[in-house]
Structure 1
Amino acid sequence: MMNKLKLLFCLLFVGIMGFAQEVDFTEYNLDNGLHVILHQDNTAPVVNTSVMYHVGGKDLKNDKTGFAHFFEHLLFEGTENIKKGDFMKIISANGGSFNANTSLDRTYYFETFPSNKLELGLWLESERMMHPVIGEQGVETQNEVVKEERRRSYDNRPYGNVLQVIQKNLFNKHPYKDPNIGYMEDLDAATLEEFNEYFDEYYAPNNATLVVAGDIDIEKTKKLIKDYFGPIPEGNKVDRAKIEEKPITETVTDTFYDPNIQLPMLVLAWRTPEMKDRDAYVLDMISTILSEGKSSRLYKKIVDDKKQALQVSAFNLPLEDYGGYAIYAIPQNNTPLDTIKSEIDQEIRKLQTEKISDREYQKLQNTFENNFVNSNSSIAGIAESLATDNVLYDNTNLINKEIEIYRSITPEDIKRVANEYLNKNQRAEIYYLPKSEDVE
């Protein structure tokens, strides 16, 4: 009887979860090319307005890096109708919160307001798109802000340059080789004309997706969007030529010295398929098997049991043109980095030669079901998922269907992908070391 009750409960839970996670949305284009996605949820009096521009760190200007991240800051400076410094004050004064972030592939601005401030949110984002003030004063101010961020988050932070070193070793020609924040000498050398040209090229409605999610009325929201965004002129079509990289066929070895650390780090990194490739999802699962949680294979082996490492992590870096995959470990008890490398290679070899157990596979599926539920548990999370799925995956309904991709992945897929991508001759081996006095 008890087993039947447990089975009934599980079936009910799965049914409820599947129903709760269905995200309804409406999408359409304005005449100027702006893609609009609306999600109505009247359970709480809040609304999220957000714009994702299809421009990121990989989009250079005259071979200069860092422009997209720079504009993440610069477009808060002010507009023709919003005085310098008032953008953020207006949001706070009206009970809102805001932020922005830039990746190598896109830039995302968002605000959350009480739902009676929807029109304010739309006005702010339309002002950012239509009337920004890009002048010498704002550029100089934000240049100093970005330099300080570079010092704080990269150059003066322990292990702050790990991702940059990984990128440099996985890519030779593609702009993914450069840090998302850019090089300060590039921003220092950029002219005001180049900044204005960059804005005109990438921050047009036809290169953007607007998402409005929360306590809204669909028809009233459509009218407001047309009023605020409809008059913005369409920009030129963005040319997106993919830069091809030759496959890595021999192990790349690099050493980087960081004056901010006392313990070394071993990093193993591989170039992998683009984010839309199904194998990228399999690599997500491999990361979970290797290092997510204390029962994961690498954590249990070299952190818990053998006490060889203080930390170990495997992570997938899904990107639009290519992907990256990396495993890092920080040793303890003076364990040599090559010993840790050998231990990691043993676990990779197991994935390549042995199918994971049924128990481990079920645990894996449960983890991704839970991740799926959590990713769509807030209005802000839903808004970002809708924008990302449209801009980078060309499939807005992925917000409802992505879990089916993970469900379809089999133990045989995991074994195949480990064999196809995680080989020694396809990787970079990076020794990330403390800088000693005798190192120039």
Structure 2
Amino acid sequence: MKQISYLVSLFFVANVCLAQEVKFEEYDLDNGLHVILHQDNSAPVVTTSVMYHVGGKDRTEGRTGFAHFFEHLLFEGTKNIERGKWFEIVSANGGRNNANTTNDRTYYYETFPSNNLQLGLWMESERLLHPVIDQKGVDTQNEVVKEEKRLRYDNSPYGQFLFAIQENLFKVHPYKDPNIGYMKDLDAATLEDVIAYNKKYYNPNNAVLVVAGDFKTDTAKSMITDYFGDIPRGPEVVRNYPKEEPITQEIKAVKYDANIQIPASLVAYRTPGFKERDSYVLNLISTYLSDGKSSKLYKKMVDEQKQALQVGAFNIGQEDYSMYVVFALPVGETSLETLVSEMEEEVAKVRDELISENDFQKLQNKMENDFVNSNSSVEGIANSLARNYMLYGDTNLINTEIDIYRSITREEIMEVAKKYLGKNQRVVIDYLPETANAN
């Protein structure tokens, strides 16, 4: 078996050695816009994307959800793009586009046939320089966000999972509130509030522009200067969010969900921001515990003991603090207390014992394989380049992040689990059907 494991390891290392380095060029415009170019002429497509360093945490009390709201609002139109025509222009020119918002950043992108690079750059410069922000657009997108909240969270089974964790793990940091915000805050916001938010965060010096795919570098640089070079620099964003006190005693909470019949048990820990080395170690621990049917939690609680319909562990990475979550849904009469006890037993093993050399090698192989398969499209590469620069401060992580995982040891896995995943550091949430509240 050792011989086979050794051969498998050599196979993955060989694959990683053959994996193509993602080459890129980066520079700054005078207005502070960071530009990253990744040229790949293997297919006639090009992605233009802009990531803004603004997310759900960037708000004041009583004005939550603005970053997610702007994700929608900035598709309304510009001085040169008629209201409601954004998606029509993209599709009519053979492209596709989307956007998404987290607690830490907002990301927009378009992918076009490569002969439409200029169109993609023009549209993103329009979004930055000439957005039309008026009461009609605010009212329209307010209703869009409300409908999204109803569909994805209020009326979706287990749609409150993340909210239940956030509101119990955080007391003072903005991560305590949902990224989508509270609808009463959006209803209370004035047009002046919205305009002020745009002026504060949507500026070239708070953004990174990525062009990835089939283009000529000199042509792209010239277009970028033409479309983005004259956009004025904005105020520097200063963040000084309150720090959370460590959790030193287990917190118990209950959350009710009208959309479920089967309860769930959630165990959550506050962990370090994703830039910290310990966060990478926690990612490995979650893979060890719950990635696939041969993982420790699944094999034990689902396959062997028939206690759980589903079980999992994952580290939800965020810039300031992350959230490590272990959860399970019971089978039959299995109590939530039993689920918590069984999950804790596996977490305790990671805290108190070195994982086996064989399991450790499997983890390393999994990370190597994921690295080989990552960034398989220009869209994915554009996203990774933007994220690594904006949130990690190291664009080249796209090539070197695997080295962090390679350097992690079994001893370090045990030390990090002991440091962050103690019983006295956790929140235990009984996630129950609404009928249980009625009783």
Work out whether residues 9 and 361 of structure 2, in 8 Å CA contact, stay in contact via their aligned partners in 1: no
Q: How far has the Cα of 1:374 moved from its partner? A: 2.1
Distance 1:79 1:307, change over 3 A: same
**1:254-333 to 2 correspondences below 5 Å:** 254-333=253-332
Aligned to 2:215: 216
CA-CA distance at 1:13 after TM superposition: 6.3
CA distance in 1, matches of 2:178, 2:437: 28
Q: Which residue of 2 aligns with 1:387?
A: 386
Stretch of structure 1 that moved more, 194-203 or 362-371 = 362-371
* Unpaired stretches in structure 1, ≥5 consecutive residues: none
One-letter code aligned to 1:201 = K
AA aligned opposite 1:187: L
1:61–1:67 contact (8 Å) kept in structure 2: no
Alpha-carbon shift at residue 44 of structure 1 (Å) = 0.5
Structure 2 counterpart SS, 1:168: helix
Q: Distance in 2 between matches of 1:405 and 1:55?
A: 27
412-421 or 370-379: bigger deviation: 370-379
Deviation, 1:11, is 5.4
Name the residue aligned to 2:342: 343
Provide closer, same or farther for how the CA distance between residues 235 and 178 of structure 1 changes in structure 2, counting only shifts above 3 A.
same
In the aligned structure 1, how far is the partner of 2:303 from the partner of 2:3? 38
Q: Give the structure 2 partner of residue 243 of structure 1.
A: 242
SS at match of 2:245: coil
Distance 1:64 1:159, change over 3 A: same
Evaluate the alpha carbon distance shift between residue 407 and residue 91 of structure 1 in structure 2; reply closer, same or farther with a 3 A threshold. Answer: same
Q: Which moved more, 1:356-365 or 1:202-211?
A: 356-365
Q: How many residues align?
A: 438
Question: Which structure 1 residue ranges, 4+ long, deviate > 2 Å from structure 2?
Answer: 3-21, 437-440
Measured at CA, do residues 291 and 10 of structure 1 come closer, stay the same or move farther in structure 2, by a change above 3 Å? Answer: closer
Partner of 1:392: helix, strand, or coil?
helix
Q: 2:71: which partner in 1? A: 72
Q: State the shift of 1:325 in Å.
A: 0.4
Alignment partner, residue 427 of structure 2: 428
Give distance in 1, aligned partners of 2:178 and 2:309: 27
The residue type paired with residue 171 of structure 1 is F
Deviates more, 1:15-24 or 1:429-438: 15-24
User: Structure 1 residues 274 and 364 mapped into 2: Cα distance closer, same or farther (>3 Å)?
Assistant: same
Aligned counterpart, 2:83: 84
- CA shift in 2, pair 1:15/1:89, >3 Å: same
User: After alignment, is 167-176 or 368-377 more displaced?
Assistant: 368-377
Partner of 1:200: 199
- Percent identity, aligned pairs only, is 61
- The answer as to whether partners of 2:134 and 2:191 remain within 8 angstroms in 1 is yes
1:436 positional shift? 1.2
Q: How far does the alpha carbon of each residue in 1:257-306 deviate from its partner, in whole angstroms, 9 at most, with x for none?
A: 11100000000000001111000000001101111100000000001111
Question: Kindly tell me: are residues 259 and 7 of structure 1, through their superposed partners in 2, closer, same or farther at Cα, counting changes over 3 Å?
Answer: closer
* Aligned equivalent of 2:35: 36
CA–CA separation in structure 2 for the residues paired with 1:111 and 1:350: 46
Which residue matches 2:157? 158
What is aligned with 1:189? Answer: 188
Q: Measure how far apart 1:352 and its partner are.
A: 1.2
Which runs of 5 or more structure 2 residues have no equivalent in the other structure?
none
What amino acid is aligned across from residue 141 of structure 1 in structure 2? T
Give CA deviations for 1:214-273 in whole Å, capped at 9, x if unaligned.
011111111100000001100000011132111011111110111100000000000001
SS in 2 for 1:344: helix
Per the alignment, in what secondary structure is the counterpart of residue 392 of structure 2? coil
Is residue 133 of structure 1 aligned with residue 138 of structure 2?
Answer: no
Question: Which amino acid in 2 is paired with 1:120?
Answer: L
Matched with 2:368 is: 369
Q: CA 1:165–1:131 in 2, change beyond 3 Å: closer, same or farther?
A: same
CA distance in 2, matches of 1:14, 1:285: 18
The AA in structure 1 aligned to 2:55 is G
Alpha-carbon distance between aligned partners in 1 of 2:11 and 2:355, rounded to the nearest angstrom: 28
Q: Which amino acid counterpart does residue 403 of structure 1 have in structure 2?
A: I
Q: Cα distance 1:8–1:293, how it changes in 2: closer, same or farther (>3 A)?
A: closer
CA distance in 1 between counterparts of 2:319 and 2:19 reads 29
Match of 1:176 in 2: 175
Deviations 1:384-425 (A, max 9, x none): 000000000000011111000000111111110110000111
Report if aligned partners of 1:32, 1:206 keep a CA contact under 8 Å in 2.
Answer: yes
Matched to 2:26, the amino acid is E
Q: CA deviation at 1:77?
A: 0.3
- C-alpha separation between the residues in 1 aligned to 2:70 and 2:253? 32
Q: Does 1:410 align with 2:409?
A: yes
Alpha-carbon distance between aligned partners in 1 of 2:115 and 2:380, rounded to the nearest angstrom: 20
TM normalised by structure 1 equals 0.97
Q: CA shift at 1:14, angstroms?
A: 3.4
The equivalent of 2:102 in structure 1 is 103
Matches within 5 A, 1:49-64: 49-61=48-60, 63-64=62-63
Q: CA deviation at 1:370?
A: 1.5
Pick closer, same or farther for the CA change 1:115–1:429 going to 2, 3 Å: same
Report if the CA contact (8 A) 2:12-2:368 is conserved: no
Match of 2:359 in 1: 360
Q: Partner of 2:227 in structure 1?
A: 228
Contact 1:201 1:238 survives alignment (8 Å)? yes
Give the Cα–Cα distance (whole angstroms) in 2 for the partners of residues 13 and 270 of structure 1. 33
Give the Cα–Cα distance (whole angstroms) in 1 for the partners of residues 3 and 179 of structure 2.
Answer: 54
* Offset of residue 19 of structure 1: 4.0
In the superposition, relative to structure 1, how do residues 263 and 58 fare at CA in structure 2: closer, same or farther (>3 Å)?
same
Amino acid at match of 2:263: P
- Matching residue's letter, 1:370: N
Q: Quote the Cα distance in structure 2 between the aligned partners of 1:93 and 1:395.
A: 36
User: Residues 418 and 438 of structure 1: is their aligned pair in 2 closer, same or farther, counting only changes over 3 Å?
Assistant: closer
Q: 1:62 to 1:426 in 2, by over 3 A?
A: closer
Look up the equivalent residue of 1:104 and give its one-letter code.
Answer: N
